[in-house]
Chain A
Amino acid sequence: MSIGQRLYQWWDSDFFYAFRTSPVAIVAFSVVMLLFGGALLAPLLSVMDPFDMAALNLMNGFTPPMQPNAFTGDTFLLGTDDQGRDLWSAILHGLRVSLFVGFSAVGLAMAIGISLGLLAGYLGGWVDALIMRVADVQVTFPSILIAMLIFGIARGLLPPEARNDFAIWVLILSIGLSEWVQFARTVRGTTMVEKEKEYVQAAQLLGLSRLQIMRRHILPNVMGPVLVIATITLALAIIAEATLSFLGVGAPPTQPSLGTLISIGQDFLFSGEWWILLFPALTLLALALSVNLLGDWLRDTLNPRLQ
């Protein structure tokens, strides 16, 4: 069955029906789309470039939301931070960084996981044993710890002056490398089942190469579970990115993500500027929660056995 046919099946039948009749799925999906849209259109929607130091007016610092600033009279929807940076614009740009890192990391994890899973499942033998043992040892440790370690090592390998420039890529690398195991395990399992089926053996007899068989015959069959894992992993990756950035070992100060904004906000809790913390925190929560809900719903709908 081709990918096109499978897609058509989804949209034509139960999948789309299940979506239309699930309020949770609709709300979660809408929130995710709204946040994606905001991130994509950040340059258009924001009132200033929050990271152009020249555009900032220090006099605008600590302006509460929806109230005119005492000195300049400027009003900001969500208020400003200590440097007079508009929070609305900062959140949109932060969302952009968070989502970019999240998606790229999931993409990386997926690429690694699917390739290794296909290899392990199709070739078996020592390749399978080696890949799966590494996976076993890695999942013993929480992925956030693995990501921190990789981040530290990558920083150590980079010259100090390049560390900030490459921080985003290092972040993607470390989260991507820490989340591949689930993909590999699932793909391996499906591959081992599929490769025994007649059509794959027929393809083998026809003289198709291993690579062709895997790409054309096995890959389409693992897409359902992979989509589910990707969604759940996206939530994990977004949380991991925010955590690392909050701890100061993630996004660089020049490209703050939601986690960075929250860590800045924490500094002003005691002095009463609550909005600097609250709005980025709510955005992150809305994002993580709706992606999680969507993942849960996808899992229940597409593959109830995957747990």
Chain B
Amino acid sequence: MSALEVRDLTVEFPTRRGVLRALDGVSFDVEQGEILGLVGESGAGKSMTGAALMGLLEPPGRIVGGSIHLHGESVVGRAQEFRGRHFGMVFQDPLTSLNPLKTIGAQLIETIQWHFNLGAQQAELRARNALAEVGLDPDRLNAYPHEFSGGMRQRVVVALALSAEPAVLIADEPTTALDVSIQAQILDLLKALCRERNTAVILITHDMGVVAQTTDRVGVMYAGRLIEIGQTDQIINRPAHPYTQGLMASTPTLAGDVSTDLYQIAGSMPRLDAIPAGCAFNPRCTHVMPKCRSERPPMTGGRACWLEATHD
């Protein structure tokens, strides 16, 4: 049994123009100590998956089907009990993630005392340790968020997210808002801390470089569906789904020839109110078959595609 088991997760938003299906039958597992990347274009449902796991969907969005189990316990409908203590989360922008009017110490200690029955002194000790673990000076407990740089603030955010020792950490574009030079530091920090604590990580990103550098496995999302999932090496080097192939071909690599134009997939991802029948990718797919337009391909062997697996 995996640590986290997500099965057929489906999220809908009722709107004036009808019900929008933002996540459609998403299934995946994550093991303790494993880092799973979720990639896709914006609007593909990566962040929505994270919000659904946390129970933090913006109303009127809600989970209408499927299940989430953490170590065999069902999470759907009880997210509040799991938040913080079992599921931690790191958001994209460290500049806005921290309460500007409270010292980072106050925010750390508040979270620690919320989850553990600790006295003021013990909680403070723990908060100092948490800062030290993310590479910050423990004496800066009394500093306000604005006194830190962006990269340091994201360290504080990581410390806060991990302060209650969650089993699963969801990191939603944790480095997108940071300078390139800082990105690698934060990713290394996340990776090291999670390996050390055996935390399962879901890393949401659109950056293939981040994926290659950090993750063990990758799931590719398109129009609210998971269309391919597998070992990072395999997804990057031998993608099976035509969309993933296009995605990889359109990603610049250091080894690639700079003079050639990058590949571009024709068209754009459909809006949620206009997802085609069958495979959601079929209007843009170069291998499209009649079956793709009528029947939705099931996830088999790590990909949801009607193309014969022999082709790779």
Are A and B in contact, CB atoms below 8 Å, in the complex?
no
- Chain B positions near chain A (C-beta within 8 angstroms): none
B-binding residues in A (CB < 8 A): none
